[in-house]
A and B are shown apart, each in its own frame.
Chain A
Amino acid sequence: MGATIKAITRTEGTAPFAFSESALAECRTIIARYPEGRGKSALLPILHIAQAENDGWLSVDAMDAVAQLLGLRHIEVYEVASFYSMFNLHPVGRHVLEVCQTTPCMLRGSDDIVAHVEKRLGIHAGETTKDGLFTLKTVECLGSCGTAPMLQCGAKYHEDLTPAKVDALIETLRNEPTRNNYTDR
């Protein structure tokens, strides 16, 4: 968030970034939604696409490619990418588990779910497992408070969680070779 500073730094050994042809086509459709000269409006949706095409996070290279595509200065992209919590500015695991920890979820036991995932994966919130399979994030209210506790993985909501359900989900994901992204790619 705005008040929490997220630094923009180059990560060593990062692969170069280029949009795929299909992504470029999707970006062009998005840009066409806005009036002439308002292409910057496409920045958030296009950052989502870039993140999906870059293993779930935004490298400096990926952000620079977005800036070039939209004709923006680099800083205009960095300041936006660092503001929004869904943009990861560092590499993440293949499956990002985002557990809601906000009050209505807390009333229904989200603290226990966070603790269970931490124990089960041997990491703290904000960390990635050594094998690169899982990242655990704690997030704020996801609009699923009636089916709390809950977590989101990619676009999918997993609701009414119990420790047993979390274990089953982790086992399923362990065998899923591809990332669940927010976008369809």
Chain B
Amino acid sequence: MGRKLLLEHVGKPGIQGLEGYRANGGYRSVEKALRTLTPEAVLEEVKKSGLRGRGGAGFPTGMKWSFMAKPPGVPRYLVVNADESEPGTFKDRYLMERIPHLLVEGMITASFALGANVSYIYIRGEYFYIHRILERAIGEARAAGWLGKNILGSGFDHEIHVQIGAGAYICGEETALLESLEGKRGNPRIKPPFPAVKGLYDCPTVVNNVETIAAVVPIINDGGEEYAKIGVGKSTGTKLISAGGNIKRPGVYEIELGLPCEEFLNSDEWCGGVEGRALKAVVPGGSSVPIVPAELFFKTAKFEPRLMTYESLADGGFQTGTMLGSGGFYAYNDAQCIVRSTWNHTRFYHHESCGQCSPCREGTGWMEKVLHRLEHGHGRMDDIDLLWDIQKRIEGNTICPLGDAAAWPVASAIRHFRDEFEFHATHPTKVKDPKHFEKEPFVRKPKPVEA
């Protein structure tokens, strides 16, 4: 059993309410921070913990906080990113639904460190029922004096508001989120300036993922050094992984970073193995990260066991590696078609492109069209090079990383599964049946890996 820092108390009676949460040690981090620590000392603990942003990019949280500009007389904001729209990711929903006070507590402690008197949770509109759970938790916290003026007599004031989105993946990108929170279309801003200097209402702002802010609670309770003892190298602490796809035990799991990938997939404590058939491929960190074939998920190109850490999953770069991303994990069995799934991924990015940059707006649409025709038996051999060319022209040429996120799934699918794309061009009648690999899986010749 791994250690659990966030989900330890989930499922205990009354844990969703303030009383039950308090009975299990809730709000200790607020007491400790406001009574015994300075904001600088809280920041120091977060730095020591090595915590990295859990929203996808893995940027060190302590460093992000230390960039917060502090011009006198200007308000500062903490904005929690609860947009959670990265396909495959459902961990924040789980956390907010099962233990909402953990997020509220983390926000108060983090805001104390940041000097923010108002913070917002931006939650995707579809999570409407969770919005209500959060409002209830915030109401309880306010009534008990954990929010409001002069909390615990410390002189620190804090208010939390929940803002609801309305269906747009791009609003998970931090600057699009801020635009949306200001009541506008979710068009990402050009950076710099970064939100830490000019964020919400042009004021210094930190945007953090739900899980990142929740992790501040155990970090302050036990100290940053204790937290940093868990994990491997620069991947410290625990991570929530939402596991889905063709596995026996889908769900949200809290793992200690450093767990071997093979154990995570096959152990009955976690995914419980692949459902029914053989494992074909894995997307370990949400749809934006490269897809990897089974053998490269278990072992790196150097034949070392792959671990669930930021570094190990990325080992080998995009040639043989992938990314931990948001922890939105899904596995493919051998009945699945990579061309079909790549078409589906690309359709998603085309739909979700905000439309500001031509390479992203047009390129995602072109890729969708080409993939559609390949998957439906109207493709040509040239289409594979065409797709490669389009994705390359999107990557790195856009305002925000959605362009890259649309390019990577296509590039990695072609890189590792090119023969399957060729099969589609050469077997049009066969692939017209949408379940073409169900009876007769496609047998791939694994490419020899250059060490």
Contact = CB atoms under 8 A, between A and B. Distances in A.
Interface of A: 1-4, 33, 35, 38, 40-45, 47-48, 70, 79-80, 83-87, 101-104, 106-108, 111, 139-148, 152, 155-157, 182-184
Interface residues of B, number: 65
B341 A48 contact: no
Interface of B: 75, 84-90, 92-93, 124-129, 132, 161, 163-170, 180-187, 201, 242-246, 250-252, 283, 287, 328, 330, 332, 336, 340-341, 344-345, 348, 350-356, 361, 364-365, 434
A182 B332 CA distance: 33
A33 B161 contact: yes
A2 B434 contact: no
A75 to B, nearest CB: 11
A38 B328 CA distance: 35
A107 B336 contact: yes
A1 B351 contact: yes
A84 B176 CA distance: 12
A1 B355 contact: yes
Question: Which of A2, A45, A86 gathers the greatest number of chain B CB atoms within 10 Å?
Answer: A2
B434 A111 contact: yes
26 contacts: A1-B168, A1-B170, A1-B352, A1-B353, A2-B168, A2-B355, A2-B361, A4-B351, A41-B182, A45-B163, A84-B166, A85-B168, A87-B167, A104-B87, A104-B244, A104-B245, A104-B287, A107-B332, A140-B351, A141-B88, A143-B124, A143-B127, A145-B88, A145-B245, A146-B242, A148-B250
Contacts of B364: 3
A3 B244 contact: no
A107 B181 contact: no
Contact of A182 (B125, B243, B344): B125
A84 B348 contact: no
A83 B287 contact: no
A141 B246 contact: no
Contacts of A79: 185
A107 B348 contact: no
Given A1-B352, A43-B183, A140-B87, A106 B341 contact: yes
Contacts of A157: 129
B201 to A, nearest CB: 6
A47 B182 CA distance: 14
B85 A143 contact: yes
Given A83-B168, A107-B336, A148-B244, A143 B89 contact: yes
Given A3-B355, A41-B182, A140-B351, A145 B87 contact: yes
B353 A102 contact: no
A108 B245 contact: yes
Question: Which of B129, B183, B252, B287 gathers the greatest number of chain A CB atoms within 10 Å?
Answer: B183
Contacts of A141: 85-89, 169, 287, 348
B352 A80 contact: no
A42 B166 CA distance: 12
Nearest to B171: A84
Contacts of B86: 141
A145 B167 contact: no
A143 B85 CA distance: 7
A105 to B, nearest CB: 8
Given A3-B361, A103-B345, A140 B163 contact: no
Nearest to A146: B250
Contact of B167 (A4, A45, A86, A104): A86
Contact of A86 (B126, B132, B163, B351): B126
Given A3-B365, A35-B201, A42-B183, A84 B246 contact: no
Contacts of B165: 44, 84
Contact of A140 (B85, B89, B186, B434): B85
Nearest to A46: B183
